[in-house]
């Protein structure tokens, strides 16, 4: 009889122990699941905070970069130049400097100076032995521009300027003039430029710029006559030229 009671007691105790273990295991699983959910929520919150912080940092950089009032640019490049009414175009080396003042982060006014030099393809039938005289052009223009794309690292703007150009087409012709070589007449002429500025920002106040440009001028045509005196009365026509400049942009002022 005693053995039966002891066996029954053991069975009861084992049942209680099993139930207790099952309860503990269930609570432990629930606690692990709850902790995992809490951890996932914390990680998601941290990611949201990180993204928000990154966006705020980017915006601060954009504001610092494009909040400057002044830009000064200097560099050099290439110009494909039409050097005379009946002459082939020639390749020229260019330099360019400009100052921009921003009315707001997008709209700006420009003062621009640039120059180019190269060797013209003079008239092939001239009798003076001058076939590749050196020529020089200088452009002094002003205008306006608009920055239509601005990000942390990259900005794109377009600009248009107008003003005066100065051509020296007989300085390298060994005493001969444009009537004898076929280049444009020396002197001043209206000029205008159209361009796009592609900026890569190194720092908020420093960028590298590539600037494709169209340059239009209206120099007077020469009169191929062999005369030793340049007439200066030839008709004006539009000369279409294109090229690009590369250089450094420095920003300052608030």
pLDDT at 22: 57
pLDDT in tens, 8-43: 556 555 655 555 555 655 665 666 566 667 777 766
Q: Which residue is it, tokens 């004006």?
A: 236
Examine the domain organization and report whether 121 and 186 are in the same domain.
yes
Examine the domain organization and report whether 150 and 233 are in the same domain.
yes
Both tokens of residue 111?
Answer: 């003062």
Q: Which residue is it, tokens 């030839």?
A: 234
Both tokens of residue 138?
Answer: 């200088």
pLDDT band per the 50, 70, 90 thresholds, residue 235: confident
Examine the domain organization and report whether 213 and 98 are in the same domain.
yes
Examine the domain organization and report whether 33 and 88 are in the same domain.
no
Both tokens of residue 48?
Answer: 């949201």
Examine the domain organization and report whether 247 and 122 are in the same domain.
yes
Which sign does the torsion angle of CA 151, 103, 165, 215 carry? positive
Is the pLDDT at 60 greater than 70? The verdict is yes
Structural domain ending residue among the three candidates 66, 94, 115: 66
pLDDT in tens, 107-147: 999 999 999 999 998 776 766 777 788 999 999 999 999 99
Structural domain ending residue among the three candidates 43, 66, 89: 66
How far apart CA 34 and CA 37 sit, in angstroms, is 5
Examine the domain organization and report whether 105 and 188 are in the same domain.
yes
Both tokens of residue 95?
Answer: 């330099």
Examine the domain organization and report whether 49 and 91 are in the same domain.
no
Phi, psi of 19 (to 5 degrees): -65, -40
pLDDT at 48: 63
Examine the domain organization and report whether 56 and 174 are in the same domain.
no
Q: Residue 31: which domain range?
A: 1-66
How far apart CA 91 and CA 124 sit, in angstroms, is 18
Count of domains in the chain?
2
Q: What is the CATH number of the domain that holds 181?
A: 2.40.160.20
Q: Which of 26-30, 189-193, 219-223, 226-230 has the lowest mean pLDDT?
A: 226-230
pLDDT band per the 50, 70, 90 thresholds, residue 1: low
pLDDT at 232: 56
How far apart CA 226 and CA 126 sit, in angstroms, is 8
Instruction: Dump the DSSP string for 38-83.
Output: HHHHHHHHHHHHHHHHHHHHHHHHHHHHHT-SEEEEEEEEEEEEE-
Structural domain ending residue among the three candidates 41, 66, 91: 66
- Percent of the chain residues past pLDDT 90, beyond the cut: 57
Is 27 in a helix, a strand, or coil? helix
Is 249 in a helix, a strand, or coil? strand
């Amino acid at each position: 009889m005693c053995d039966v009671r002891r066996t029954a007691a053991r069975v009861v105790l084992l049942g209680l122990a099993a139930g207790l273990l099952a309860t503990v295991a269930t609570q432990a699983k629930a606690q692990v699941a709850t902790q995992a959910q809490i951890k996932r929520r914390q990680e998601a919150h941290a990611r949201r905070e990180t993204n928000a912080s990154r966006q705020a940092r980017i915006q601060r950089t954009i504001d610092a970069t494009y909040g400057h009032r002044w830009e000064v640019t200097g560099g050099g490049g290439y110009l494909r130049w039409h050097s005379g009414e009946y002459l082939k175009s020639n390749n020229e080396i260019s330099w360019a400097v400009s100052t921009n003042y921003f009315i707001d982060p997008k709209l700006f006014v420009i003062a621009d100076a640039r120059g180019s030099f190269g060797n013209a393809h003079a008239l092939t039938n001239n009798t003076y032995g001058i076939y590749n005289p050196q020529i020089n052009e200088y452009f002094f223009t002003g205008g306006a521009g608009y920055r239509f794309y601005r990000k942390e690292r990259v900005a794109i703007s377009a600009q248009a300027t107008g003003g005066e150009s100065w051509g020296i087409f007989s300085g390298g012709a060994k005493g001969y003039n444009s009537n004898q070589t076929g280049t444009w007449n020396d002197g001043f002429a209206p000029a205008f430029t159209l361009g796009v500025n592609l900026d890569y920002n190194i720092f908020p106040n420093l960028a590298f710029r590539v600037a494709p440009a169209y340059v239009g001028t209206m120099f007077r045509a020469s009169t191929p006559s062999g005369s030793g005196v340049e007439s200066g009365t030839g008709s004006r026509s539009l000369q279409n030229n294109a090229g690009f400049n590369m250089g450094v942009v420095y920003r300052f002022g608030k």
